[in-house]
Amino acid sequence: MDISKKNYKKLADARAKKSPVAKNCVRAFLVGGAICCLAEGLKQLFILAGAAKDDAGTITSVILVFIAALLTGIGVFDNIAKFAGAGTLVPITGFANAVVSPAIDSKSEGLILGLGAKIFTVAGPVLLYGTLAGAIYGLIYWFVMLFIR
């Protein structure tokens, strides 16, 4: 059967399941908001316990990464992400999931060639280009400040 690209697109669009955009947005908002509220609650708890504001933020980030990595490891995070969509990916929990998921998928290949080699396949470019962009921004800022003073 020979079919043109235009006819194929029509056929595919007719058979494609329509996405419930409004429902997905509400779910993402509620779950992402709940994650952020949990984070803010933890941060305020640490501040009340005597931690400095910056330290409380750091501790909270570490705890959120740990929880997301743990939930990914036991298979719960995927179910939450299926329900909430981008609501789980936008906070720091999405980054933790992006680091842990490839490692879990390749654990059968061993600790070195599996886990060690694959753990940063998704997050690696984010770390690399984020660090590079930060360094470039820092250099630009440094040069600008040299001429302003």
pLDDT in tens, 41-89: 999 999 999 999 999 999 999 999 899 989 988 989 989 989 998 888 7
Q: Please give the residue that has the higher pLDDT: either 127 or 19.
A: 19
Q: Is the pLDDT of residue 28 over 70?
A: yes
Average pLDDT over residues 114-126: 71
Contact 53, 46 (CB under 8 A): no
pLDDT at 47: 97
- The C-alpha atoms of residue 120 and residue 126 are separated, in whole angstroms, by 9
- If one compares 119 and 17, the residue with the highest pLDDT of the two is 17
Q: 1 falls in which pLDDT band (50, 70, 90)? A: low
Do residues 144 and 106 both lie within one domain? Answer: no
Residues 66, 113: one domain? Answer: yes
Give the Cα separation of 24 and 8 in Å (integer): 28
Residue 84: closest CA among 26, 9, 21, 7: 26
Block residue for tokens 């990914």: 72
The answer to whether 81 touches 89, Cβ cutoff 8 Å, is yes
Same domain, 128 and 91: no
The pTM assigned to this predicted structure is 0.67
Residues 6+ apart with CB under 8 A from 37: none
pLDDT of res. 85: 86
Which structural domain, as residue segments, surrounds residue 70? 20-118
Closest CA to 81 of 128, 38, 27, 117: 27
Q: What whole-number distance in Å separates Cα of residue 96 and Cα of residue 30? A: 20
* Domains: count for the chain: 2
Same-domain pairing of 52 and 94: yes
pLDDT given for residue 122 in this prediction: 67
Same domain for 110 and 139, yes or no, is no
CA distance to 10, 85, 96, 97, per residue, from 101 (Å): 36, 16, 9, 6
